């Protein structure tokens, strides 16, 4: 098995790991618009390194159901605790913002809402329908939580007609207890498989973080598992430690290793694999969706 050395405490980044400092006129415009409409983006909440590139290209991954998560995963920068009440007007404000920005492709994700019976699936569905009402040609990708393994919330989201159903695997099964202790690897695979059962033509997608202490062999096994469950699209990116309270980076994978994982995945038959140090779940999402549609 591949041996991984521990990284220093402050996780100094290697020379190939560089992200441009966020700025620019459009970056500021989108940030102001989000504040005005009281909307959240995972770009900001999760400290995404691509925030400048995406905002300046006029795209953002919207985070609904509030900014407080009922889970406390060891890698995630989103605030955890007791969330407030659901905002029933959020779908309307989100749709208006998507229309104002003139988006042709929108990505919606959320915090976990284990405190409400449907996990927030109803709000997801309302957001999709509200966007389609105001901007009929806008494709909507959703990055959903696992809804505790309940299939009915998944049916609710699929019934609204998203363009892509995304649910992140995050890491290898061995690391779930420390990285995602309220999650379950088999539950994740089951959710992704159910999408094809409920909506056979729906492209499915998942994301994997690397650098938490997994081996290349374990990552290859995860890719084989995902393909066996008919997943179409995969993103693979480097984990970054948000604060000293979060899990440390075990190591930074070299670009050659990301290239290997991409090729390994493509050889397995995925429609597209986006793999690189700065890759995140919604990175180049529209292009990935097009690749999936072309292969189905």
pLDDT per residue as tens digits for the range 220-250: 999 999 999 999 999 999 998 888 889 999 9
98, part of any domain: yes
pTM of the model: 0.85
Q: Which residues of the chain have pLDDT under 50?
A: 1-9, 43-46, 52
**Alpha-carbon distance values, 56 to 20, 31, 32, 101, 294 (Å):** 12, 11, 13, 11, 28
Q: Which two tokens stand for residue 136?
A: 């009929």
15, part of any domain: no
Q: Is 18 exposed, middle or buried (0-12, 13-18, 19+ CB in 10 A)?
A: exposed
pLDDT at residue 37, as a whole number:
60
Q: How many domains does the structure of the chain reveal?
A: 1
71, part of any domain: yes
What percent of the chain lies above the pLDDT cut of 90? 60
pLDDT at residue 4, as a whole number:
39
pLDDT at residue 8, as a whole number:
41
Q: What is the CATH number of the domain that holds 275?
A: 3.20.20.70
115, 82 in Cβ contact below 8 A? yes
Domain residues for the domain of 126 are: 25-295
pLDDT at residue 181, as a whole number:
82
234, 265 in Cβ contact below 8 A? yes
pLDDT at residue 91, as a whole number:
96
2, part of any domain: no
Within 13 A of 223's CA, how many CA atoms are on the CB side? 28
Closest of 276, 274, 278 to residue 288, by C-alpha? 274
**Alpha-carbon distance values, 198 to 94, 191, 228, 229 (Å):** 27, 10, 17, 14
9, part of any domain: no
247, part of any domain: yes
20, part of any domain: no
16, part of any domain: no
Closest of 182, 247, 255, 195 to residue 226, by C-alpha? 195
Sign of CA dihedral 2, 205, 107, 180: negative
The Cα 271–Cα 240 span in angstroms is 27
The Cα 168–Cα 31 span in angstroms is 26
Q: What is the mean pLDDT of the chain?
A: 85
For 61-70, write each residue's pLDDT tens digit: 788 998 889 9
**Dihedrals φ, ψ of 92, to 5°?**
-65, -45
């Amino acid at each position: 098995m591949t041996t991984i050395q521990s990284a220093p405490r402050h996780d100094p980044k290697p020379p190939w790991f560089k992200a441009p400092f966020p700025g620019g006129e459009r970056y500021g415009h989108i940030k102001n618009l989000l504040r005005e409409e009281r909307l959240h983006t995972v770009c900001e909440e999760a400290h995404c390194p691509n925030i400048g590139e995406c905002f300046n290209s006029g795209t953002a991954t919207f985070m609904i159901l509030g900014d407080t998560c009922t889970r406390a995963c060891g890698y995630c920068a989103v605030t955890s605790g007791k969330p407030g009440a659901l905002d029933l007007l959020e779908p309307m404000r989100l749709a208006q913002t998507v229309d104002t920005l003139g988006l042709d492709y929108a990505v919606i994700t959320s915090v976990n809402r284990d405190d409400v019976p449907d996990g927030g699936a109803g709000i997801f569905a309302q957001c999709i329908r509200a966007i389609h009402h105001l901007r009929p040609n806008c494709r909507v990708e959703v990055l959903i939580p696992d809804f505790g393994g309940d299939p009915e919330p998944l049916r609710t989201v699929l019934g609204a007609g998203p363009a892509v159903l995304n649910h992140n695997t995050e890491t290898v099964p061995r690391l779930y207890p420390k990285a995602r202790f309220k999650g379950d690897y088999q539950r994740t695979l089951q959710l992704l498989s159910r999408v094809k059962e409920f909506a056979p033509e729906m492209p499915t997608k998942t994301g994997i973080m690397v650098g938490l202490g997994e081996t290349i062999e374990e990552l290859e096994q995860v890719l084989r598992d995902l393909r066996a469950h008919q997943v179409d699209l995969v993103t693979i990116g480097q984990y970054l430690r948000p604060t000293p309270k979060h899990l440390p980076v075990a190591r930074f994978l070299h670009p050659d290793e990301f290239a290997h994982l991409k090729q390994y995945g493509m050889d397995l038959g995925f429609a597209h694999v986006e793999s690189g140090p700065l890759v995140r779940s919604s990175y180049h999402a529209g292009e990935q969706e097009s690749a999936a549609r072309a292969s189905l």
